[in-house]
Amino acid sequence: MDTIIIVVFGIFGLSLLILVHELGHFFAARLCGVQVETFSLGFGKKLIGFTRKGINYQISWFLLGGYCKLKGEMFKPDFTEEDYQKAKEEKNSFLSASTIKKVIIVAAGPLANMFFAALIFSIIIFAGYTIETSGTKIILQSEYAMENAEMVSVARDAGLQTGDEILAIDGKEMNHFDDIYNVVSRSQGKELLFTIKRDDTIFDVAISPEEVPGQYISRIGIYPWTDPVVESVIKDSAADKAGLQPGDILLSVNEKQIKHTTAFYYALNDKPEKVEISYERNGEKKNTIMSLSYENGTTMDPGIRFLLLRVPSPKYDPFTALIKGGERTLEVLGLIVQSFAILFRVGVKNVSDVVAGPIRITQMVGQQALSGFSIGFGAGMSNFFQFICLISVLLGFMNLLPIPVLDGGQIILVLIMRIKKTMSPKFVMRYQLVGFSIIAMLTILAVFSDIFYFLKF
């Protein structure tokens, strides 16, 4: 059943984003007086369709794609200069449209994805959603050197201790760990005044967060404190086979006391094949052996979901929600741009870690819905659409890159046409061929990345 949910929501999510993108081109073309010849959701052979007012509407067999074919938009290999001039003079043709109209039509697809994300973000913010987080009690990262985790000791050097509670930062009350993260990560290294509770003592301490190299976020080296209470266990996982159940409270791993979930995962850091777990169930202490396996050096997920703090999101009126939705979209876009800059500056060690193809994206979209449905239908839909918004912004950004065939490359071609006044059909075909080659290589890379990724599991 879980697999069905992942596949259905994954395909639906990507198809929705492609539909939004192509509808952007479609409506822009209609508004600019350019004839749309074919509007297709999907590539390849037509499955179903109909013709209305000269437009062929269809659904094709490969749903993870789509296109909006405009009159006079595509050049054929045997196009001559005379054919090009004729197409420029043809009524309702893309080539006969003004430069500004061409740019509007081409840019409308990516912009539709951006506006769609802003609208959905706004609806979610207005309707409200549940935030899964932890309380304000913290753990020093420096005490738990996790595999592949960079050690940060700012909080320790400032005198904070594991078990401290952060009550306020710069006088602003902190209600949960997300509040702490949002203030610290956006501080840009500026000194902050933390109000700390330790046992029965409350005191202030000034801390200057360090900026993450190559990024625009700051940190102080803390983890959230989450009590080791089992909320759910994944079927057929290591925890399930060990007999753990929702409501169990973990007490120790290999006779080492477990006070919080970070201590539990730290106990698995050395990748043991078996661990002895002591836990409490309905007031009774029990013991079990959990067997773990690791394939291709991957980190083992024991299959435990711990109980988190669930708090409702702030309530906003419709106008404020629209503003917040726009801000969230711009924030996501900024993070995407930063990520691309870091990727090209730092380089890539493992392609499958940073490149995902349609198969894995479909899986990720579906998994977001599934993880939310474990809490409730509303949470599942909220998770699904929030993740869809992230992919929508990414899709819009990627299509604006100056690569031939992509919308950004087509805008450049339109501008070249404007400057040169005329355009050799052979040049256009070569330009498009370069784009097709790049996209083909990226597609092959993404598909093989998916294959290698799934071979790990």
pLDDT tens per residue, range 31-48: 999 999 999 988 888 889
Q: What is the pLDDT of residue 119?
A: 95
Q: What ranges in 32-98 are assigned the alpha helix state H?
A: 81-89
Q: Which of 118, 65, 13, 41 is nearest to 330 (CA)?
A: 118
Q: What is the pLDDT of residue 4?
A: 63
Q: Do 250 and 264 meet the contact criterion of CB atoms below 8 Å apart? A: yes
The predicted-structure confidence for 45-78, as pLDDT tens digits, reads as follows 888 999 998 899 999 887 777 889 888 775 555 5
Q: What percent of the chain has pLDDT over 90?
A: 42
Q: What is the pLDDT of residue 325?
A: 94
Q: Which of 94, 87, 41, 93 is nearest to 68 (CA)?
A: 41
Question: At 331, is the pLDDT very low, low, confident or very high (cuts 50, 70, 90)?
Answer: confident
Look at 212 and 223; give whichever has higher pLDDT. Answer: 223
Q: What is the pLDDT of residue 259?
A: 95
Q: Using the predicted structure, report yes or no on whether residue 354 has a pLDDT greater than 50.
A: no
The C-alpha angle 313, 317, 319, rounded to 5 degrees, equals: 120
What does pLDDT average to over the chain? 81
Q: What is the pLDDT of residue 441?
A: 61
Question: At 270, is the pLDDT very low, low, confident or very high (cuts 50, 70, 90)?
Answer: confident
Q: Cα 88 vs. chain centroid, distance in angstroms?
A: 41
Q: What is the pLDDT of residue 248?
A: 97
Question: At 353, is the pLDDT very low, low, confident or very high (cuts 50, 70, 90)?
Answer: very low
Domains of the chain and any CATH numbers:
2-126+388-455 (no CATH), 133-224 (2.30.42.10), 230-296 (2.30.42.10)
Q: Using the predicted structure, report yes or no on whether residue 111 has a pLDDT greater than 90.
A: yes
Q: Using the predicted structure, report yes or no on whether residue 79 has a pLDDT greater than 70.
A: no
Q: What is the pLDDT of residue 360?
A: 46
Q: What ranges in 306-403 are assigned the alpha helix state H?
A: 318-346, 351-354, 358-373, 377-399
The predicted-structure confidence for 375-397, as pLDDT tens digits, reads as follows 455 566 777 788 888 889 888 98
Q: Using the predicted structure, report yes or no on whether residue 442 has a pLDDT greater than 60.
A: no
Q: Which residues pair with 223 in a beta bridge?
A: 139
Report the range of poorest mean pLDDT among 94-103, 287-296, 320-329: 287-296
Q: What is the pLDDT of residue 14?
A: 79
Question: At 436, is the pLDDT very low, low, confident or very high (cuts 50, 70, 90)?
Answer: low
Q: Which of 208, 148, 213, 150 is nearest to 184 (CA)?
A: 208
Q: What is the pLDDT of residue 343?
A: 55
| pLDDT (average), residues 116-122 | 94
Q: Which of 248, 184, 247 is nearest to 219 (CA)?
A: 184
Q: Using the predicted structure, report yes or no on whether residue 317 has a pLDDT greater than 90.
A: yes
Q: Using the predicted structure, report yes or no on whether residue 246 has a pLDDT greater than 90.
A: yes
Q: Which tokens go with 457?
A: 């599991």
| Alpha-carbon span 109 to 100, nearest angstrom | 15
Report the range of poorest mean pLDDT among 332-346, 351-365, 428-442: 351-365
Look at 232 and 355; give whichever has higher pLDDT. Answer: 232
Q: Which of 456, 455, 150, 145 is nearest to 300 (CA)?
A: 456
Question: At 137, is the pLDDT very low, low, confident or very high (cuts 50, 70, 90)?
Answer: very high
Q: What is the pLDDT of residue 7?
A: 62
Residue at token pair 């059909």: 425
Q: Do 292 and 238 meet the contact criterion of CB atoms below 8 Å apart? A: yes
| pLDDT (average), residues 175-188 | 90
HSE-CB of 333 using CA atoms within 13 angstroms = 21
Q: What is the pLDDT of residue 315?
A: 87
Question: At 20, is the pLDDT very low, low, confident or very high (cuts 50, 70, 90)?
Answer: very high
Give whichever of 133-137, 290-294, 440-444 has the largest mean pLDDT. Answer: 133-137
